Amino acid sequence: MDLSELSIDRVHEGLKNKEFSCVELTKAHLEQAKAENEKFNFMVTITEEEALEQAEKVDTKIAKGEELGILEGVPYCLKDIFCTKGIKTTFSSNFTREFVPPYDATVVKKLKDEGCVLIGKTNMDEFACGASTEYSVHGPSKNPVNPEYVTGGSSGGSAAAVATNSCVFSLGTDTGGSIRQPASFCGIVGLKNTYGRVSRSGVNSMASSLDTIGPFARNCKDAAYVLSKIAGQDHNDSTTPPEEVPDYVGKIDGDVRGLKIGVPKEFFDDKVDAEVSSAVKDALKKLQDNGAELVDVDFPSIKYAIAVYYILCPAELSANLARFDGIRYGSNPETEGEGLVDYYFNARGEGFGQEIKRRIMIGTYVLSAGYYDAYYKKAQKVRTMIIEEVNRIFEKVDVMVGPTSPFPAFKIGTKSNDPLQMYLADALTVPINIAGVPSLNIPVGETKEDSLPIGMQIIGPQFSEDLILKVGRKYEGIVN
Amino acid sequence: MISEEQVKQVAKLARLNLTDEEVKTFAGQFEEIFGYIEILDEIDTSDVKETSQVTGLENVTESDEAVRKCSGDDLLVCSPLPKERKQIRVKPAIKK
């Protein structure tokens, strides 16, 4: 039995029945992480000591015959944007290359309380800005299917960690596609939750009105297990509503008979790669054959989404990164300069990479006096129109389905010097963040020539994670 | 048209040191990015309200109690600068 390929159910069962120890399980994942990282550069920090210490605790519990929680002893990884007490958290930035947070993010604390085993922190685009995990002070991550290609981003390291069996699940953040797109490029499951479903406290903010947190896993049920433990209201994040957390796992098995699936034609236009379109259409056909009803819907405002996003996101990012002054945390610049203001200029100029500078500049420009109404306010208004359109679609259908990315993984270096092309890589994921609704990426095929994974997203109304996980699970059942 | 002068002005507002090369690159890239964003001009939004929060939460309040996640010393360790009497020593804000 390969211990690094197990689902959460199998890990739980195996630990309980003493088929293997938690230390054995953890070592298998640590070895996998180290070996695969040599090839694909997706780990920033491997927390071997902490992992083995936690695994021993779990083994002691098992030896004493104590009851185990479902995630207890399960190896996982965290995107290097989640603050971990005493463990370096770099945000993949030169600015914070040595930052060691003094506290755990709410979700990290939750997973610690569950007894999960942290294998390490994963690579990402600097401050989560990017669609390829190339904009990182740690160098680009490489796609486990073919190292000439990107993993997608910004949570590319977390996707690669799951795809290489270096952990059972991982967490990422999705502001404009940063969970779904790398999940799609690496051929795994990735869930972007409803805005506010999971607490962001202790997770570095990128664009506060869009940021969400969610899991990567190798199947939908594992994602449901993780979500059920991290979702819910948190008094340290005032955007988490008191909305009840459903039993995602209990509700995951079911039928799609009579389910109305909206198929927006805009998701299948000529900007979408033909192979991607056809793989997603095949998957839709399979759901239809199992009783789902396909309904053509119109989503015309999708064409404004990238423009709206590249106003809102840099604006909010520039405000969030304004607190990075190199004084309370971060690194001091090589040239400190004469006075305090010089110090700020140097700390920020040396600390931030190109993409971050670019977005801070765009954000500062659109928020500056005289431009605020024309850009930020205008974008917020168009955002309302996109939300209203999504709501109208969900009056007619239960879920919407389309490709996650217009194309499969691209080659490293092909878009990193062309920001607009990189932004357009998010064309199908960004509208979902703008609407604040949940969306689940599942793998549905691969390209003929290079066997690159193709992903499909299942989008639901706000707080319908249970429904989209059920549809994903059903699809897995049909094809496996 | 976004001039290099404008780029320098925005960088100043953002407290960001840019190299001459960065100024040049950004001026060109912003031309393209803002050109793309102009697509929004074709929509009439005069009767539309702006959205800043998508799940409808408003005025979330908490009781006025200090909740400490970490001590002052834990926080001071995060600073790269020298410390004196539990304070961070910074460069002078006002030049002599």
For residue B60, give both structure tokens.
């979330």
Q: With bands split at pLDDT 50, 70 and 90, how would you rate the model's confidence at A478?
A: very high
Q: Give the pLDDT confidence of A4-32 residue by residue, as tens digits.
A: 999 999 999 999 999 999 999 999 999 99
Cβ-Cβ contacts under 8 Å for B88 (sequence gap 6 or more): A327, A328, B76, B79, B81, B82
Angle between helices A220-230 and A8-16 (to 10 degrees): 80
Q: Which residues of B touch A382 (CB under 8 A)?
A: 40, 43, 45, 48
pLDDT digits (tens, 9 = 90+) for A34-74: 999 999 999 999 999 999 999 999 999 999 999 999 999 99
Average pLDDT over residues A376-381: 97
A374 vs B contacts (CB less than 8 Å): none
Mean pLDDT taken over chain A: 97
Q: Cβ of B29 and A326 within 8 Å?
A: no
Contacts of A244 (CB under 8 A, 6+ apart): none
Number of neighbours of residue A263 by Cβ within 10 angstroms: 18
In three-state secondary structure terms, B83 is strand
Q: What is the pLDDT of residues B7-49, one digit of tens each?
A: 999 999 999 999 999 999 999 999 999 999 999 999 999 999 9
What 3-state class would DSSP assign to B25? helix
Q: How far apart, in whole angstroms, are the C-alpha atoms of residue A260 and residue A267? A: 17
User: Alpha carbon A236 to chain centroid distance?
Assistant: 21
- pLDDT at position B1, please? 67
Across the interface, whether the CB atoms of B14 and A364 are under 8 A apart is answered yes
| Backbone φ and ψ of A112, nearest 5° | -65, -45
Chain A residues close to B75, C-beta within 8 Å: 102, 328
Would you state the pLDDT for residue A461? 98
Q: Are the beta carbons of A103 and B70 separated by less than 8 Å? A: yes
All domains in chain A, ordered by first residue: 1-297+389-480 (3.90.1300.10), 307-373 (no CATH)
ipTM of the complex: 0.96
Query: Which residue(s) pair with A189 in the sheet?
Result: A217
Cα-Cα end-to-end distance for chain B: 40
Q: Which domains does chain B have, with CATH numbers?
A: 4-42 (1.10.20.60)
* B36 interface with A at CB cutoff 8 Å: yes
Quick check: A232 contacting B, CB < 8 Å?
Answer: no
Nearest to B11 among A340, A361, A385 (CB): A361
Rg (CA), chain B: 23
The three-state DSSP-derived secondary structure of chain A is: CCHHHCCHHHHHHHHHCCCCCHHHHHHHHHHHHHHHHHHHCCEEEECHHHHHHHHHHHHHHHHCCCCCCCCCCCEEEEECCECECCECCCCCCCCCCCCCCCCCCHHHHHHHHHCCEEEEEECCCHHHCCCCCCCCCCCCCCECCECCECCCCCCHHHHHHHHCCCCCEEEEEECCCCCHHHHHHHCCEEEECCCCCECCCCECCCCCCCCEEEEEECCHHHHHHHHHHHECCECCECCCCCCCCCCCCCCCCCCCCCCEEEEEHHHHCCCCCHHHHHHHHHHHHHHHHCCCEEEEECCHHHHHHHHHHHHHHHHHHHHHHHHCCCCCCCCCCCCCCCCHHHHHHHHHHHHCCHHHHHHHHHHHHHHCCCCCHHHHHHHHHHHHHHHHHHHHHHHHCCEEEEECCCCCCCECCCCCCCHHHHHHCCCCCHHHHHHCCCEEEEEEEECCCCCCEEEEEEECCCCCHHHHHHHHHHHHHHHC
Q: Which residues of A touch B80 (CB under 8 A)?
A: 98, 326, 329-332
SS3 per residue for A415-450? CCCCHHHHHHCCCCCHHHHHHCCCEEEEEEEECCCC
Q: Shortest CB distance from A343 goes to which of B57, B75, B91?
A: B91
Alpha carbons A196 and A245: distance in angstroms, whole number:
12
E strand or H helix at B39, and its extent? none
Mean pLDDT to the nearest integer, A219-230: 98
- A208 Cβ under 8 Å from any chain B Cβ: no
Q: Cβ separation of B17 and A436 shorter than 8 Å? A: no
Residue A371: per-residue pLDDT = 93
Contact A381 B75 (CB under 8 A): no
Helix (H, G, I), strand (E, B) or coil at B88: strand
From the list A4, A21, A27, A79, the catalytic residue is: A79
pLDDT for residue A332: 87
Indicate if the pLDDT at residue B79 is higher than 70.
yes
A154 is catalytic: yes
Provide the β-strand partners of residue A48: none
